[in-house]
Chains A and B, each alone.
Chain A
Amino acid sequence: MTDFARQVLDALPVTVYTVDLDGRITSANRSWSHFASENGAPALAPETSVCGQSLWSAIVDPSYREQLREAMELLRLGKTPRVSWEFPCSSPDEERVFLMQITPLRDGTQRVTGFVFSTVDITPSHRSREALIDAGLALSRTIDLDRVFYEVGHQLQRAVSAKAFAVLLVGESDAGLERSYSMGYDDPAPVLEMRLTPLAHAAIEKLDVVSHVTPHGVEVAAPMRGGEGTIGAMTMYIEGCPARQTIEGATRVLATLAAQTAVAIERAWLVRRAGRKSRLEAIGEVAAGVAHELRNPLFGISAAAQLLRYRSRDDPDVEKVVGRILREVTRLNRLVTSLLEFGRPRVAMLVPGDPDAVWDDVLEGQTGLLESRSLSLERTRSPRVVSCRIDAEQLAQVFLNVLINAADHAPAGTVLTMQSSVMPSGAWRFRLTNGGSAIPPDVLARVFEIFYSNKPGGTGIGLALCQRIIEEHLGEISLDSSPQHGTTITVTIPPAEVEAHA
Chain B
Amino acid sequence: MSCNILIVEDEVSIRDSLAELFEVEGTRVIQVGTLDEAKAALAAEPYQLILSDIRLGGKRDGGLQVMAAAGLLSPEAVVIALTAFPDQDNRLASQRLGATYFLEKPADLETIASIAAKHSVPSSLFPHAASAAEGTSPGG
Contact = CB atoms under 8 A, between A and B. Distances in A.
A11 interface: no
Contacts of B124: 307, 310
A345 B40 CA distance: 38
A304 B20 CA distance: 9
A295 B21 contact: no
Interface of B: 11, 13-14, 17-18, 20-21, 82, 84-85, 87, 104-110, 124-125
A300 B109 contact: no
A318 to B, nearest CB: 16
A347 to B, nearest CB: 11
A307 B17 contact: yes
Classify the secondary structure of A's interface with B: helix
A292 B104 CA distance: 11
A312 to B, nearest CB: 12
A344 interface: yes
Contacts of B17: 300, 303-304, 306-307
A333 B84 CA distance: 11
B125 A333 contact: no
A304 B84 CA distance: 17
Contact of A310 (B13, B85, B125): B125
A319 to B, nearest CB: 15
B14 A344 contact: no
B11 A300 contact: yes
7 contacts: A292-B85, A293-B84, A299-B11, A299-B84, A303-B21, A304-B17, A307-B17
Nearest to B21: A307
A296 B110 contact: no
B14 A307 contact: no
Interface of A: 292-293, 295-304, 306-307, 310, 329, 333, 344
B106 A299 contact: yes
Given A296-B14, A300-B17, A306 B109 contact: yes
Given A295-B106, A307-B21, A300 B14 contact: yes
Contact of A298 (B87, B106, B108, B109): B106
4 pairs of A and B residues whose beta carbons are closest in the complex: A295-B84, A303-B17, A299-B106, A300-B13
Given A296-B105, A298-B106, A303-B107, 17 more contacts: A292-B84, A293-B84, A295-B85, A295-B106, A296-B84, A298-B105, A299-B14, A299-B82, A299-B105, A299-B107, A300-B11, A300-B17, A302-B106, A304-B13, A306-B108, A329-B106, A344-B87
Most chain B Cβ neighbours within 10 Å, of A293, A296, A329: A296
A344 B106 CA distance: 19
Nearest to A308: B17
Contacts of B85: 292, 295
A297 B14 CA distance: 8
A293 B10 CA distance: 13
A479 to B, nearest CB: 32
A7 B84 CA distance: 95
